Structures are given as C-alpha cells and as structure tokens.
Chains A and B, each alone.
Chain A
C-alpha cells in the first residue's frame, strides 16, 4: 500500500531532550516536506527536500534540522526542544508536479 509513515504518532518529552521524528515513504517520491499545524495558524512548512542530499528551509525552520540521506526517509530532528515546539507535525511526499501525500501526523508535547 502506498503510504507515508511517521513515528512516533504521539510523544511527550521535556525541554532540551533531543528527539527525532521519522518519516518514510514507499512511493519513490522526489519531494518530501515537514509541516507543523497550530490552532489558528494552519499548516506551515518547516523544511522540504527536492531529492537526496537536497534540502531547503520552509517558513518556520528555527529549532529544527532535517536530513535526506536516502530517498525514502526524511527525519525531523529537534536538537533542544522547547515548549513552543509543541504542535501537530505532518510529513508529506510527492512526485514532481503532483499533489502531496501526507502522513498521519505526530502530536508532540514539550513540557
């Protein structure tokens, strides 16, 4: 089944404790992205990648890192999470010229 998977789906952590949210797609898509969704703000892009080893900042990249070492994986790294990074995170992938396929979301709480 074609899909984008994210892990974990739910995470509660504490300020400053490094974490990684994994994202994987099995559709051989070139493009992958991370978004965060906050009430009243909609979805905002954090980072995106146009292919392996090619990444670029979105609208809200501060406090996040990404890497794209393989086509299928695009992990989101929070080196030192803070409470303002509490959010619902979505990973997405797409082939060139088409719509995004979204993962199920990861709800992160930073205490």
Chain B
C-alpha cells in the first residue's frame, strides 16, 4: 500500500527564518513520482515540484529546496528566509510511474505553515 506522512500538522515561524517541512512515504513500487503542492489561503492548488524515484539529486529553486533521500523514504522541503507570502498549506504526494496504480495520486494530510511578520 502507498502512504504519505506529513508529521507536522502546523508550523509557525517568524519572517526570515528557515523552515523545513517533512515528508515520509511508503510504497512497494520501485518507480514512482513524488510531488509538493502549495495551497494558499485562496484555496487553489499550486504545483511546486515533481521528482522521480530515479533521480535523488537535490533541487533548489530560489528560496525553495528539496531533499530526496530514498534510503529513508523522505522528500523534505525547505524554505529559506521565509516570507509572509509563504503562509499556506503544503502537501506532499506520491504516485506510481507504471501499472494500475499510476492513476492514483496519494496525498499527505498537509502541513499548515504560518509565517508571521
């Protein structure tokens, strides 16, 4: 069975602090995708990143960075120098690359990040 765990339900930081959102996953598939999505207070879901299981390179995009470690089944997301606009709910998600379960995107329960000025 597939499962995504985001153990942090809510995090509150002060602007300019760095913050890491944890994501741990379980899957029997050998090939899979991992995703992060952002849901700001306005409610839409915004795609942030996709990683496939072949590629364990960390990625940086501006103030955002992602650390994928297959050995610990983790795909953590770090925001450097957080800003108020980063306040949102962040979801980690998992999907198989092949097979019958490739249509099924499994989400974690989300981490609500509040960045205070």
Contacts and interface: CB of A to CB of B under 8 A. Distances in A.
B104 interface: yes
Interface in A17-53: 31, 33, 35, 40-45, 48-50
A43 B44 contact: no
Contacts of B100: 56
Contacts of A102: 37, 44-45, 47
A105 B43 contact: yes
Contact of B103 (A44, A50, A99): A50
B105 A33 contact: yes
Interface residues of B, number: 20
Contacts, number: 51
Interface in A59-103: 59, 88, 90, 92, 97-102
Q: For the side of the interface on A, what is the size category?
A: 20 to 34
A99 B43 contact: no
Interface of B is mostly: mixed
Contacts of A44: 107
Contact of A88 (B43, B50, B105, B109): B43
Interface of A is mostly: strand
A31 B97 CA distance: 13
A50 B105 CA distance: 13
A74 B112 CA distance: 30
Interface in B68-91: 91
B110 A104 contact: no
Which 3 A-B pairs give the minimum distances between C-beta atoms?
A: A42-B109, A102-B45, A48-B103
18 contacts: A33-B103, A35-B107, A42-B109, A42-B110, A43-B107, A45-B104, A45-B105, A48-B104, A58-B104, A90-B45, A92-B45, A98-B50, A99-B33, A100-B35, A100-B47, A102-B37, A102-B44, A104-B44
